[in-house]
Structure 1
Amino acid sequence: MLGFSVDDLLPRARGGGVLKMGLAKLGESEWLQPDPDLDARARGFAAFPDGIQLTPEAGAPGRELAEMLGIAGALPEAAAAHHEDMCLLTRKPDEDQYRLVGAAVAWPSDWTPADQRGLPLRALHEPIQGYEEQLASGVDHFMARLKPGAIYGRANWFIAATADKRWIAEPPEQAFAHVTPENAGEALFVRSERQTLRRLPQTGAILFTIGIYVSPLGALSPGNIDRLADAMRTLLDGEGERRGAGAYAGALIRYAGHTKEDVRP
């Protein structure tokens, strides 16, 4: 089961190393966060109107989605009524990859929906080190075989220097310049995406949802702080450059060590 907080998601999230989808099958009641903060969603979309990007191909699946959720409208209205950002992907008969045809994203994790609209999956994931070699074929195969009714979820995490839900990464040396082992618990924020995939039964489009959760490092359980510290070593050997890990990993690892000493009997 995937929970709805950073503490719940971290144990299920990949911690570096070889890229994996890491999917868990979800029930209908586990799909979307209950009781979303709709005022926060409205503020998020108002502050970032470019988060809504629609191609003509998004019309029919967007209306199907809204109807399925009991909402009047299409994709933007569906996302505004839930905690999760929502994206629609379709594939024409002569195409070998799904493409992003619609996005309603208030809280992106360092990406710009306007730049990604209409792109196929492999181009969408091009910035992710190792995606083409380790994961692209598996993702394409999964998407092609996904059946209506089935819901799958996964989680990931990033380290950020801000608690803002809409996150645009700054140069790491600048963003994390103030972070020390002593203040890392308050200065570093762990950002988790709770992602789900399901196929809409009528149009055949695939809905990709992204629920954003952010927590100060120091508010996490001791086990999760240790988990992140262990992951830092793997990140530095792989995706560290893309994630800027070199600018904060030392402080996080030393903070975790101090925390462990503080709770030691």
Structure 2
Amino acid sequence: MSLGFSVDELLPKARGGGVLKMGLAKLDESEWLQADPDLAARAAGFDAFPEGVQRLPEGDAGGRELAAMLGVEGALPEAAAAHHEDMCLLTRRDGEDHYRLVGAAVAWPSDWTPADKLGLPLRALHAPIQGYEEQLASGVDHFMAKLKPGAIYGRCNWFIAATGERRWIADPPELAFAHVTAENAGQTLFVRSERQTLRRLPRTGAILFTIGIYVDPLGELASASIHRLADATRSLLDGEGERRGTGAYAHALIGYAKAREEEAGQ
């Protein structure tokens, strides 16, 4: 299955509300990483956010293995700087059955700080996600334990942001979206999609988690994508709206989508 490498391509494969699911698709090697990274943008991202690189000593071997596998000199930071995707490494400590974040090279985080997450087990990493512990935690732990080297799995998600910046630190929703209306939503709302992949490194057994960030103004998306987002936003109002700040932008997004649909029907 191909996930694609753009917001319009990723949205149809992303969850739109309801029960949390991993929603994984098995990928071929050719579908793993974006083939044409903007290396200048990556360098600028890491220069602006040097604290995005965080490592524990127990992740060093996995970082070196990853770099060698990608044909890059160095370790985890150099591997991530040479590709579009941010990269994180997870390993299990002796005597533990859960994975921890032991390395991160993240230029474009989606409202998280690697230093705050370093060393945490998966359940603690995902604690802010409403419903994760009840609906998804056990399934994720089982998947990680059974993941074999050579297999690559991908998934995607989406967020609505009030900025097109790739490094996104969310302001309180009532402030971030205060200027957004149905009339200007096409230019003031931005759709942010994460293209995530998981694979186990064969020698060290570390698990690599990659995050490819794609951001577009709402108004530049295909009509089908805008319609899909409007439907999903209605669903989120009854579920995860508080966590995602949906209530602060929902009226504007749905109103914009309706106006676009009416305009297309004329």
Secondary structure of 2:260 counterpart: helix
Counterpart in 2 of 1:100? Answer: 101
Secondary structure of 1:248 counterpart: helix
Counterpart in 2 of 1:75? Answer: 76
Gaps of at least 5 residues in structure 1 are: none
Find out whether 1:214 has 2:215 as its counterpart: yes
Alignment of 1:131-142 (within 5 A): 131-142=132-143
Shift of 1:35: 1.1
Amino acid at match of 1:227: R
RMSD: 0.6
Could you report, residue by residue, the CA deviation over 1:101-157 in whole angstroms, capped at 9, with x for unpaired residues? 000000000000000000000000000000000000000000000000000000000
Alignment of 1:145-184 (within 5 A): 145-184=146-185
Secondary structure of 1:94 counterpart: coil
Quote the Cα distance in structure 1 between the aligned partners of 2:55 and 2:238.
38
Shift of 1:177: 0.3
Find out whether 1:236 has 2:237 as its counterpart: yes
Amino acid at match of 1:173: E
Quote the Cα distance in structure 1 between the aligned partners of 2:58 and 2:216.
36
Amino acid at match of 1:13: A
Counterpart in 2 of 1:143? Answer: 144
Gaps of at least 5 residues in structure 2 are: none
Shift of 1:94: 1.3
Quote the Cα distance in structure 2 between the aligned partners of 1:124 and 1:190.
23
Counterpart in 2 of 1:15? Answer: 16
Amino acid at match of 1:260: E
Shift of 1:93: 3.7
Counterpart in 1 of 2:39? Answer: 38
Counterpart in 1 of 2:112? Answer: 111
Shift of 1:54: 0.3
Amino acid at match of 1:239: E
Quote the Cα distance in structure 1 between the aligned partners of 2:60 and 2:198.
19
Quote the Cα distance in structure 2 between the aligned partners of 1:119 and 1:238.
27
Secondary structure of 2:247 counterpart: helix
Runs of 4+, deviation exceeding 3 Å: none
Quote the Cα distance in structure 1 between the aligned partners of 2:113 and 2:9.
27
Q: In percent, how many aligned pairs have the same letter? A: 79
Shift of 1:92: 2.2
Quote the Cα distance in structure 2 between the aligned partners of 1:94 and 1:139.
19
Could you report, residue by residue, the CA deviation over 1:25-67 in whole angstroms, capped at 9, with x for unpaired residues? 0000000001100000000000000000000011100000000
TM-score under structure 1 normalisation? 0.99
Counterpart in 1 of 2:228? Answer: 227
Amino acid at match of 1:152: Y
Counterpart in 2 of 1:2? Answer: 3
Q: How many residues align?
A: 265
Amino acid at match of 1:167: W
Shift of 1:97: 1.2
Amino acid at match of 2:153: Y
Find out whether 1:249 has 2:250 as its counterpart: yes
Counterpart in 2 of 1:122? Answer: 123
Shift of 1:238: 1.1
Amino acid at match of 1:70: G
